[in-house]
Amino acid sequence: MAESKPGFEVRLANFTGPFDLLLGLIAKHQLDITEVALATVTDEFIKYIRNLQKLGGEWALDEASEFLVIAATLLDIKAARLLPAGEVEDDEDMALLEARDLLFARLLQYKAFKHVAGLLGESLHQEAMRFPRQVALEEHFAAMLPELVWKHTPEQFAALAETALRPKAPKPTEVGLAHLHGGNVSVKEQAEIIGLRLQRESPLTFRAMIADAESTLVVVARFLALLELFRDKAVSFDQLSPLADLAVHWTAGGRQWSADNLSEEFEEQL
Amino acid sequence: MTREAPEATQPGEEDLENLPGGAKAAVEAVLMVIDQPATEEELAAGLGLTVEKVSGLLAELQREYSGYTVKAPDMDQASHAGFGSSPRGFELRNIAGGWRIYSRTDFADIVGKYVLEGQTARLTQAALETLAVIAYRQPVSRARVSAIRGVNVDSVVRTLAQRGLIEDSGTDPESGAMLYRTTSYFLERMGIGSVAELPQLSPHLPGLDGIAEYYDAEGI
Amino acid sequence: MTREAPEATQPGEEDLENLPGGAKAAVEAVLMVIDQPATEEELAAGLGLTVEKVSGLLAELQREYSGYTVKAPDMDQASHAGFGSSPRGFELRNIAGGWRIYSRTDFADIVGKYVLEGQTARLTQAALETLAVIAYRQPVSRARVSAIRGVNVDSVVRTLAQRGLIEDSGTDPESGAMLYRTTSYFLERMGIGSVAELPQLSPHLPGLDGIAEYYDAEGI
């Protein structure tokens, strides 16, 4: 956020100050992400953006999309932080801890690029104050250029124009997107899978629920899906002792349940 | 030296003299990058100087570039007044009332050889496609052609203009961008009498309207 | 001064020295007509001089334009060796691997009035961040840039390509995805010689040793 404008300030029970500072504290582990009320931050941000729009600030959109990226990552981290934080007992816990660190790394990386983007912008601005000599060739030199070889008929030229003007076909990137992302993992999709599974057999341990997960992302998505289901009162948990297996009970009964009813929060794909 | 009262928004002579190299360097800075010759009046207006002052500076620069030792009346050290005794590789010429910097005529052979090195008689595919877009969508700005082609076309447009295939056609009243159209030399090479004789394109191709929306959305 | 043995067809240093201003002015003359940066090798080949000689002349010109008094070892009158103590309105810079004349920054406001074309609007924050990711991770696919930025970057990538700041760099042999890299125009606009001169990313990115592997493992 540029220095020229005040920027977004957060007012929470345990923190008041610029949003950037809040991120900095979380990054330095001086503030526990689980103690930050993200919902309050979001509400305040929406208020802040509305004010910007009222003032006719054109940066509102930029700042809003930036906030969304950070908030989504914070949410991911926060959810991952709710995992048992005790000793690492097996590969499965290890995988979950790594997932948490990677999410955190993703936030740091995003902030690093945001920072160098500012430096690039500054360089581009400084350089724009110099103008290169870029003049048309002096006439006597232009006259020396070899006579143009032109062998296009009007029809061939028209064909060329057709090619040039036709909207470009989507680049291969679009086609392969799903597998490039290592398979986009959708929290909603995973909620559907575990929802159906729990309706067939309840209770199930979390361990059993992720036994067939083909990647860490799927594990994280299923965990997030469970949190969502819990909030929607579709499941309940019990755990006999700390770090013991987590048993998940289906509590929605036979009533109409569909993953489509999940809150929009996790629309974004991991 | 008389001092003029420049308009409030103009840099003005006093401000210019505080910059490194002073008003003379400011004139030089402009001359080095302009493509079209500038008149003394244009230079004076842009710099916030009087025409007399600009005339004097131009004459001084012209002498310096040609290697005459300059003894400006208000300079103490003539030896430091600018270019010394040896002529530069460029010269300042006044052609039809406009001033521009050109490479020095003595080096015409060398420069000509350098320029011709690697020049081909054929247009590249990129140049041909750009020409096709301009021919069918003229008058059109460079930015629009870039949007259609998906790449920056600045240098290709320069080449086409240099080859006499396209030319300036005024500025877009809305955006102020320079517009381009094809020339009569282009028609000659195509063997047609007017652009109306170019073969019709398929009606399904997006016109400029579609591009315009897309382009405005990009905020370019 | 050592004299090189020029090829028979080249103008060669001896011929150049007979022209007013000598080899240095010849280099200057060529710099006046080029419309993109020229490398020392190109200048040497075009002028029939060695690369070392051209390097030396370019460095000398650069100093002269910036207003340092030049004392070239083979000149008798140092005070007449070239530009004197006051800086010119232009400067000679080595950018993106080539040499080119630019107007001096001090005169940006004044020159800007004459050079409307080529002045581009500032990039949005989204475009700058996308450009940063591509610059530091090139060659890189759109999908990977999206993953790092957390948003869809398709339209921003299109804009950057239209501006000539990035270009296609073939496809990834494994995924078949189109890869992007920055252009030499990007280096020009940044005023640097190569991407190696970009500010270091790592100080801003602590403890991220694992991140590359993460992306690789995910096949992004």
Task: Give the residue with greater pLDDT, C77 vs B203.
Answer: B203
| C63 vs B: CB within 8 A | no
* Partners of A135 in the β-ladder: none
Band (pLDDT 50/70/90 cuts) for residue C208 is very low
Instruction: Say what percent of chain C tops pLDDT 70.
Output: 75
Minimal CA separation from B112 to chain A, in Å = 6
Band (pLDDT 50/70/90 cuts) for residue B85 is low
Band (pLDDT 50/70/90 cuts) for residue A115 is confident
Out of A132, A133, A155, whose CB is closest to B199? Answer: A155
Is ipTM strictly over 0.90?
no
Band (pLDDT 50/70/90 cuts) for residue A104 is low
Band (pLDDT 50/70/90 cuts) for residue A267 is very low
Within 91-110 of C, beta carbons closer than 8 Å to B belong to 101-104, 106-107, 109-110
Q: Do B220 and C124 touch (CB under 8 A)?
A: no
Q: Do A180 and C143 touch (CB under 8 A)?
A: yes
Residue C203 confidence (pLDDT): 58
Task: Give the residue with greater pLDDT, A7 vs B61.
Answer: B61
Residue C79 confidence (pLDDT): 42
Residue A81 confidence (pLDDT): 62
Average pLDDT, integer, range A226-239: 81
Q: Do B163 and A147 touch (CB under 8 A)?
A: no
Band (pLDDT 50/70/90 cuts) for residue B184 is very high
Q: Which of A223-232, C161-170, C198-207 has the lowest mean pLDDT?
A: C198-207
Residue C32 confidence (pLDDT): 94
Task: State residue C170 phi and psi, 5-degree precision.
Answer: 80, -170
DSSP string, B36-98: S-B-HHHHHHHHT--HHHHHHHHHHHHHHHTTPPP--TT-S-GGGSSS-SS--SEEEEEETTE
Task: Give the residue with greater pLDDT, A59 vs C121.
Answer: C121
Band (pLDDT 50/70/90 cuts) for residue B73 is very low
Mean pLDDT of chain B: 80
CA–CA gap between residue B140 and residue B137 (Å, rounded): 6
Residue C25 confidence (pLDDT): 93
Do C177 and C200 form a contact (C-beta atoms < 8 A)? no
Q: Do B148 and A161 touch (CB under 8 A)?
A: no
Label each residue of chain A as H, E or C.
CCCCCCCCEEECCCCEEEHHHHHHHHHCCCCCHHHCCHHHHHHHHHHHHHHHHHCCCCCHHHHHHHHHHHHHHHHHHHHHHCCCCCCCCCHHHHHHHHHHHHHHHHHHHHHHHHHHHHHHHHHHHHHCCCCECCCCCCHHHHCCCCCCCCCCCHHHHHHHHHHHHCCCCCCHHHHCHHHHCCCCCCHHHHHHHHHHHHHHCCCEEHHHHCCCCCCHHHHHHHHHHHHHHHHCCCEEEEECCCCCCEEEEECCCCCCCCHHHCCHHHCCCC
Burial of C194 (0-12, 13-18, 19+ CB in 10 A): exposed
Task: Give the residue with greater pLDDT, A1 vs B111.
Answer: B111
Residues of A in contact with B137 (CB under 8 A): 165
Minimal CA separation from B116 to chain A, in Å = 7
Task: Give the residue with greater pLDDT, C61 vs A110.
Answer: C61
Residue A46 above 90 pLDDT? no
* Partners of C28 in the β-ladder: none
Chains with 3 or more CB pairs closer than 8 angstroms to C?
A, B
Out of C29, C77, C104, whose CB is closest to B29? Answer: C104
Do B56 and B4 form a contact (C-beta atoms < 8 A)? no
Ramachandran category for residue A56: left, alpha or beta (phi over 0 → left; psi -120 to 50 → alpha): left
Size of interface B-C (CB pairs under 8 A): 198
Average pLDDT, integer, range C25-48: 92
Q: Which helix (H) or strand (E) holds B99?
A: strand B98-103
pTM of the model: 0.65
Compute the CA torsion angle B13, B18, B21, B26 (nearest 10 deg). -40
Which residues in C134-170 are b (16+ Cβ under 10 Å) and which e? bbbbebbbbbbbbbbbbbebeebbbbbbbbbbbbebe
Instruction: Say what percent of chain C tops pLDDT 90.
Output: 43
Within 125-144 of B, beta carbons closer than 8 Å to C belong to 142-143
- Calculate the alpha carbon distances from A25 to A15, A22, A28 in Å: 10, 5, 5
Residue C1 above 60 pLDDT? no
Band (pLDDT 50/70/90 cuts) for residue A176 is very low
Residue B20 confidence (pLDDT): 81
Q: Which of B5-14, B151-160, C120-129, C133-142 has the lowest mean pLDDT?
A: B5-14
Residues of B in contact with A59 (CB under 8 A): none
How many CB atoms sit inside 10 A of residue C218's CB? 17
Q: Do B115 and A134 touch (CB under 8 A)?
A: no
Interface of B with A (CB under 8 A): 32-35, 100, 102-103, 108, 111-112, 115-116, 119-123, 128-130, 132-133, 135-137, 148-150, 158, 161-163, 165, 189-192, 197-202, 205-206
CA–CA gap between residue B166 and residue B155 (Å, rounded): 13
Q: Do A148 and B149 touch (CB under 8 A)?
A: no
Minimal CA separation from B218 to chain C, in Å = 7
CA–CA gap between residue A83 and residue A101 (Å, rounded): 12
Q: Which of A54-63, A256-265, B140-149 has the lowest mean pLDDT?
A: A256-265
Which one of A108, A130, A145 makes the best mutation probe of the C interface by having the most chain C beta carbons within 10 Å? A130
Give the amino acid at C63: R
Task: Give the residue with greater pLDDT, C25 vs A169.
Answer: C25
Residue A221 above 60 pLDDT? yes
Give the amino acid at C60: E
Residue C204 confidence (pLDDT): 57
Within 19-58 of C, beta carbons closer than 8 Å to B belong to 19-22, 24-33, 35-36, 45-47
What is the radius of gyration, based on Cα positions, of chain B?
A: 23
Residue A100 above 70 pLDDT? no
Q: Across A11-20, A42-51, C41-50, which has the greatest mean pLDDT?
A: C41-50
| B147 vs C: CB within 8 A | yes
Residue B117 above 60 pLDDT? yes
CA atoms within 13 A on the CB side of C164: 18
Residue B74 confidence (pLDDT): 46
Q: Do C207 and A105 touch (CB under 8 A)?
A: yes
Residues of A in contact with C145 (CB under 8 A): none
Out of A134, A147, A164, whose CB is closest to B129? Answer: A164
Out of C67, C104, C162, whose CB is closest to B147? Answer: C162
